[in-house]
Structures are given as structure tokens and as C-alpha cells.
Amino acid sequence: MTADALLCYCRAGFEPELAAELSERAALANLPGYARTERDSGYVEFLGADATALSRAVPFASLIFARQKLLRLADLRGLDPRDRITPILAALEATATADTARASYGELWVEHPDSEAGKPLAGLARSFGNALRPALRKAGWLARSDDPTRPRLHVVFLAGDHAVLARGDTRDSAPWPLGIPRLRMHADAPSRSALKLEEALITLLDDDERQRLLREDMRAADLGAAPGGWSWVLMREGLRVVSIDNGPLRPHLLDSGRVEHLRADGFHWQPKAPLDWMVCDMVEQPRRVAERMATWLREGWCKHTIFNLKLPMKKRWDETRLCLDLFTQQTQRPVRIRARQLYHDREEITVFASTR
């Protein structure tokens, strides 16, 4: 089935950053094209290139500002509210190739952008999905039960009369509708920042890495820990944590017996012996944070780290590249890096790095 564009979701307001990222990655892959978007729309389309080739050249896991990556199959405008199903079935037929098998899709997601304009479409997306699924199954496009080995079919409503038909590779896309993991704030969490680290652990590490890298009684440091949201997440994973901050922690963290609080400056403190992990969510200049995080890996003070880079209001893609390049250069050793603007992030990106 032919794709005519790459469709990626993002945080509303960060469309220019995602557009710049996709444009640069396409140029590096020698796949000319252009990004099309509108400010605060919550999505970017990349057109003019071989969409399938670009998707292969730009794995979802390598993208920073994308919440989801899909191949656009059709752009359906002027839909009649009385019958939106017939045009969708016709579009599937029109984009099918001779060797396209029926029951091509294992699941249907009907979505809308996570934006002010998109949120009112949530009710339509829910009700339309219930009507479209049986029609797709009857026409042979959708498996009788969810099948994660097959691609997903996405119908993305941009307006009541405008929908995009897209395909998602379950091995190369976010496993959550809208690309958003739905996490609940735990009653015992010291702050909402705990959700950022929880999301980072399920987004930036795979299942095998979480089992290998987060083991009982591993040792970690949390720089700039107060009031203790990230220390609490690590403690719940079974780690022993040294929380570094001149400010107070929530008392129940210390009651656990797994958290030690040291009143010190996170930018100057260093451990007496190497640790397994260091995490950091300090509000500071992103280049300064990148340099300090690189020092930790270069000096062997930790093996793995997750940290946030607070981005400026302008030239955020340029600052992102600069900080990650600076971090890579100053570690002075082989290191694997993954970065993403998480759903629970705001004007920041979250980085996972590990020495090889």
C-alpha cells in the first residue's frame, strides 16, 4: 500500500522543532522533501520524499520531538458527516497494490491531534471508531481480533470533514494512541515530576533494558532531588538512592530506608564510589547541564543516566543539537544516547545515556 507522506505527532507549539528535525534527517538521507505544518496544530507532515524510504532512514526511536510516526496513505477532505465510512473504504481500495492481502491491519485507532483545535474532536473519534471497525472487518481490511504482528490503521481527524488515513508499524511507532502513555499520579509521589521519570523509563528503555538496568539494590544519585519525585520512582524500582539537594525532601522518602538525603549542590557533588545510575532534573542552562552530565560518564561516576535539558524559547532545535553534540564529545568514551520530548515534559527534552 503506497504512502505519500510521513505524518508525525508532537507537542502543540513544537511543530517548528519537529519540522526542522525531519528536514535535517531527510537531507542526511538524501531524500529531498519539505515539512508542512501550522503552529499549535500538534502534527507535522513531510511531503515530496519517498515516504517509505524516509521512514526506514528515520526510525521512530531516533526522533526527539515526535510522539508518533506514521505513513500517510490518503488525505480526505470534504467528508460528508452522514457517511464518512464509504470514502475511507474507497481510499483503502485506491491505495492498495495488487499483492495487498485482506485483513491487512491488526488494529484500528481513530485519533485527533493533541491540540486546542483537536481536543473537541475526541468524541467524534470515539464514536466513529465504533462504527468503522465492523465496516472494515466486513470489507476484509481489519483482522477479527487485535493482532500486534500486523500494521495499525490510523484515522486522524483534523476537522469534522477532514481526516488523514495512515499506517503505523507496531515495531516502529509509539504503542499508545496519540503517542501518549496514560500514567496516573500516585498518591504517595512527592511531586508530579515523578511522571516524567516514569515515562522516561517506559519510553527510552525497552523491556529487556528495564530488567537488566533497574535491579534490586542498585545504587543511584538524584541531583537536585527536592521534593523527591525522581528519588521516589527509583526507590520504587528497588534502587538505593542518594538524594542531593539543599532543599527538603518529603519525610516518607526517608522512612523507606532506601533514600539518603545529602544537603549539597548537585552541580558540585560527586560520589565517593561509582554508582549504577545518576538522574537529574535541575532547572539550569541546558549546556551547563550537558557538560556536567558528560563529566559523570567520563569520570566513571555512573554507568547510566537520565537527565532533562530545559530548552530556550527560541532556536530550540539548534540548542538541542548543540547540547547533545556537546554531551557526546565531552563524555570522551563510547556512549549510547536516546532523547525525547516526553508527554510530561514541557519546555524540555529528556535524555537517556549509557556507557557501552
Residue 101 has pLDDT above 70, yes or no: no
pTM over cut 0.75? yes
For residue 232, report the phi and psi dihedrals to the nearest 5 degrees.
-65, -40
**Residues across the chain:** 356
Domain span at residue 348? 193-355
Cβ atoms of 38 and 18 closer than 8 Å: no
pLDDT at 255: 87
pLDDT of the residue at 96: 76
Is 354 annotated for ligand binding? no
Closest alpha carbon to 95 in 79, 75, 110: 75
Q: Residue 98 — very low, low, confident or very high, per pLDDT cuts 50/70/90?
A: very low
The reply to whether 227 sits in an annotated binding site is: yes
Active-site annotation holder among 69, 310, 314, 315: 310
Q: Amino acid letter at 74?
A: A
Residue where one domain finishes, among candidates 152, 179, 206: 179
Q: CA angle at residue 95 from 11 to 35, to 5 degrees?
A: 30
pLDDT of residue 100: 52
How many whole angstroms separate alpha carbon 328 and alpha carbon 292?
12
Count Cβ atoms within 10 A of the Cβ of residue 98 and give its class: 0-12 exposed, 13-18 middle, 19 or more buried.
exposed
Specify whether 155 is located in the same domain as 263.
Answer: no
| 311 located within any domain | yes
Q: Determine the average pLDDT of the residues in 155-182.
A: 97
Give the number of domains in the chain: 2
Interatomic CA distance for residues 272 and 260, integer angstroms? 14
For residue range 122-144, what is the model confidence (pLDDT) as tens digits? Answer: 999 999 999 999 999 999 999 88
- Sign for the CA dihedral angle at 170, 172, 178, 181 comes to positive
Judged against a pLDDT cut of 60, whether residue 176 lies above it is answered with: yes
Residue 353 has pLDDT above 60, yes or no: yes
Closest by CA position to 342, among listed 210, 215, 183: 183
Q: How far apart are CA 112 and CA 178, in angstroms?
A: 7
In a domain, 188, yes or no: no
Same-domain status, 27 and 148: yes
Report whether 245 belongs to an annotated binding site: yes
> Is 207 annotated as contributing to ligand binding?
no
Beta-strand pair 335-340/302-310: unpaired
What are 246-280's pLDDT values in tens digits?
Answer: 999 999 898 889 999 999 999 999 999 999 999 99
Same domain, 20 and 158: yes
Q: What is the mean pLDDT of residues 345-354?
A: 97
Residue 119 annotated to the active site: no
> Domain check: are 220 and 351 in the same one?
yes
Residue 185 lies in a domain: no
Predicted confidence at residue 99, as pLDDT, reads 45
Share of the chain above pLDDT 70, in %: 98
| Interval 231-254 mean pLDDT | 95
Residues 304 and 326 in one domain: yes
For residues 173 and 294, state if they share a domain. Answer: no
Residue 289 near residue 309 (C-beta atoms within 8 A)? yes
Residues 314 and 348 in one domain: yes
Average pLDDT over residues 292-318: 97
Q: Which helix (H) or strand (E) holds 197?
A: helix 193-203
CATH assignment of the domain containing 340: 3.40.50.150
With a cut of 90, say whether residue 3 has pLDDT above it: no
339 within domain boundaries: yes
Nearest-angstrom CA–CA distance, 53 and 49: 8
- Integer angstrom CA distances of residue 108 from 39, 166, 259: 28, 10, 44
Q: Partners of 262 in the beta sheet?
A: 244
265 in a labelled binding site: yes
